[in-house]
Amino acid sequence: MGIFPEQFADIEAVGAPWALASYNDRQAKRHASTMAELETFYETVFPRSQEVLAYCNSFDIDDWPDEVKALMNMLYSLVLVSFAVEVWKQPRVPDTGAASFEAFDEPAV
Amino acid sequence: MKVERPKKPDIGSWTEQYPHLGTADVDYTDSVCPEFYERERDAIFRKAWIHVGRVEELPRVGSYFTKEYKVCDTSIIVARGQDKKIRAFHNICSHRGNKLVWEEFPNDETRGTTRVFQCKYHSWQYNLDGTLKQATREEEFFNFDRCRYGLAEISCDVWEGFIFINLDPTPEQTLKEFLGEMGEGLIDYPFHEMTQAYCFRAHIKSNWKVFADSFAEAYHTPYMHGKMSPEMAEDMVMADGIAFKMMGMHNTTSFRHVPSDIEQATPIEQLTQCGLYGPWKKPDLGGNLTPPGQNLSNHPDWGIDSHQIFPNFAIIIWERGWYHTWQFWPLNVDEHIFECRQYFVPPKNASERLAQEMATITTREYAAQDANTLEATHSMLKARIKTHLPLCDQELALRNLHYHVNEWVNGRRPGAVAAE
Ligand code: FES
Ligand SMILES: [Fe+2]
């Protein structure tokens, strides 16, 4: 039994490890990944992202089931990783060796 | 593409409208000198009104949060009482001085809801209004008068839902007087409808003013952030302020919206329907969306206003219907905690939620560039090889901040003048 609904079972192996509930965890995973790993995630998930979002939109936001939460968390990771892939062409923001941000208050989902 | 050059005032520059600020190079010793920092602590951070949070963080009777205020070696409890009133107290037990409210790590901020504040040491209990409810084994004390041992209250007031404190037991100005024209100019803006908060912070190895400076000008934007905004990198003037207004120690700068941010969207921007200026779809908002203090020149391409509130706070309002705040909490002359809070109307569906995620990540990505550069700047300012630095017309808000920091440090603050 996966954490994604059946129609997204094909992206689960790559996508599910990125279904992390906090910005701090998603950012840590991004920084711990190689560019090849980030590209694999982006290239696997991005083509399905509209479909994933449409699926999530069919649920009431105040009542998201766990599978929707997991898909949304994966999409939040996609946003984060897209900067590495689309803009910076490297895992970190350039010239930010010392800077690290910590989220201290964020929406529950 | 090129944009129209913003029209400068007849006198020739924004800066020269304020003759007291001058146009000379600015002395940055104020950002690296330990003695100057010591003076700032008393002259500014114990005298000015300081923002600590939003009323929405205290939704009900008994809601509280703590705020570390290292610049004055204290910690603050902000709480909503039985009478719904918001009060602030030094976070210190009246018995033997233990820190009253904390979880796990004494230096971490915390929040919650409670009926009483109970000390972890000998269990003294305080009411939400700061009065001592109960001292354990009171009969062991001598001539014990409960009224004498309430919490030390801190002046606290609210403007447009923003909670401010003042460490001066008898502030020389009310919060309204302190905010003056800046406060008047934003009245009835619907801040209270934007309650979906995304907050992050970082420990930064620079003087607090060095970071405030970096967010107070957009001159650097096309260069430092060029990759995120290729259009700006093509036409540097696009980032320029379209109107500047110094209001004593506070100031507002208006900026334009980059023309084709939607047409030139990246793949992720298309997916999320959000770009550099926030979610493309504006939320429905009540209140006054065009208060007089906003979009100072009524520019048709207005995109952002930066409202800098002295000394360490700024509210940035976006035309797209959201806002964020910056705040700089000094730790010592060389370090501070940087805090950013972004506020949106609560999302109605997954698409709106994802657009907000994109907006917050966009901010974090470019703020990371700012943050890291600061350490490089501060570390070399400390060498004191270059002490007097040229500030251009786009850097007027920095000139204003350093001017007023020096005024306050030298005892020339508005309330003090009135009191004489
Ligand atoms: S120090 Fe708080 S009860 Fe003793
Ligand atoms: Fe910047």
Nearest to A79 among B348, B357, B367 (CB): B357
Measure B351 CA to nearest chain A CA, in Å.
7
Query: Helices (H), strands (E): how many in chain A?
Result: 5, 1
pLDDT in the model for residue B97 = 98
Cβ B124 under 6 angstroms from ligand 1 = yes
Instruction: Give the minimum alpha-carbon distance from B381 to chain A in angstroms, rounded to a whole number.
Output: 18
What's the pLDDT at B418? 57
Verify whether ligand 1 is closer than 6 Å to residue B96 (CB atom).
yes
- Segments making up each domain of chain B, as ranges: 15-43+177-409, 52-170
CB atoms A79 and B354 under 8 Å: yes
Place of tokens 């409810």: B133
DSSP code per residue over B304-371: EEEEEETTTEEEEEETTTEEEEEEEEEEETTEEEEEEEEEEPPPSSHHHHHHHHHHHHHHHHHHHHHH
- Calculate how far, in angstroms, residue B124's C-alpha sits from the geometric centre of ligand 1: 6
Q: Quick one: which ligand is closest to B276's CA?
A: 2
Calpha distance B330→B42 (Å, rounded): 13
For A52, name the nearest residue in chain B, comparing CA atoms only. Answer: B350
Residue A80's closest chain B neighbor by CA? B361
Kindly report the CATH number that applies to the domain delimited by B15-43+177-409. 3.90.380.10
Which residues contact residue A108 at a Cβ distance below 8 angstroms, ignoring those fewer than 6 apart? none
| pLDDT per residue as tens digits for the range B214-234 | 999 999 999 888 887 888 888
Question: pLDDT at position B417, please?
Answer: 63
Backbone torsions φ then ψ of B77, nearest 5 degrees: -100, 130
Query: How far from B207 is each of B34, B221, B306, CA to CA, in Å?
Result: 10, 21, 21
* Domain residue limits, chain A: 14-88
Tell me which of B116, B121, B125 to substitute to probe ligand 1's pocket, judged by most ligand atoms within 8 Å of the beta carbon: B121
CB neighbours of B343 closer than 8 A, spacing ≥ 6? B54, B191, B194, B195, B196, B197, B198, B322, B323, B324, B325
Cα Rg of chain B, angstroms: 23
User: Each residue of B147-203: pLDDT tens digit?
Assistant: 999 999 999 999 999 999 999 999 999 999 999 999 999 999 999 999 999 999 999
Q: Is A95 on the interface with B (CB under 8 A)?
A: yes
Digit-coded pLDDT (tens) for B278-332: 999 999 998 888 999 999 999 999 999 999 999 999 999 999 999 999 999 999 9
Place of tokens 């809801």: B113
Whether residue A20 is predicted with pLDDT greater than 80 in this model: the reply is yes
Q: What are phi and psi of B211, to 5 degrees?
A: -80, -40
Contacts of A102 in chain B (CB under 8 A): 200-202
DSSP code, position B143: S
CA pair distance B69, B71, nearest whole angstrom: 6
Give the CATH H-level superfamily of domain B52-170: Rieske [2Fe-2S] iron-sulphur domain (2.102.10.10)
- Name the percent of chain B lying above pLDDT 70: 99
Percent with pLDDT over 70 in chain A: 97
Please say if the pLDDT value at position A1 is more than 80.
no
Mutation target for B interface from A92, A93, A100, A109: give the one with most B CBs within 10 A. Answer: A93
The average pLDDT across B135-149 equals 97
Both tokens assigned to B361: 């990540």
DSSP, collapsed to helix, strand or coil, labels residue B285 as: coil
Alpha helices in A1-109 (DSSP H): 12-15, 23-31, 35-45, 49-57, 66-82
Q: How far is the CA of B216 from the centre of ligand 2 (A)?
A: 9
What confidence score (pLDDT) does residue B4 get? 84
> What H or E segment, with its residue span, contains residue B51?
strand B50-54
CA distance A7 to A19: 16
Residue-wise pLDDT tens digits, B96-124? 999 999 999 999 999 999 999 999 999 99
CB contact under 8 A, A82 and B268: yes
Does B52-170 match B15-43+177-409 at the fold level?
no
Closest ligand 1 atom to B100 CA: 2
Among candidates A61, A99, A106 on the partner chain, residue whose Cβ is nearest the Cβ of B198: A106
Three-state DSSP at B196 gives strand
Q: Which of B264, B239, B274, B238 is nearest to B357 (CA)?
A: B274
Q: Which pLDDT belongs to residue B258?
A: 81
Q: What is the pLDDT of residue B233?
A: 81
Residue B155, classed as helix, strand or coil, is strand
Overall average pLDDT of the A60-65 stretch: 97
Q: Across chain B, what does the average pLDDT equal?
A: 95
Cα distances from B357 to residues A22, B65, B197, B289, B339, in angstroms, run: 12, 25, 11, 23, 17
CB half-sphere exposure, A91, CA atoms < 13 A: 16
Contacts of B358 in chain A (CB under 8 A): 79
Which residue of B lies nearest to A61 if distances are taken between CA atoms? B349
Is the CB of A57 less than 8 angstroms away from the CB of B368?
A: no
Could you tell me the two tokens for A109?
């989902």
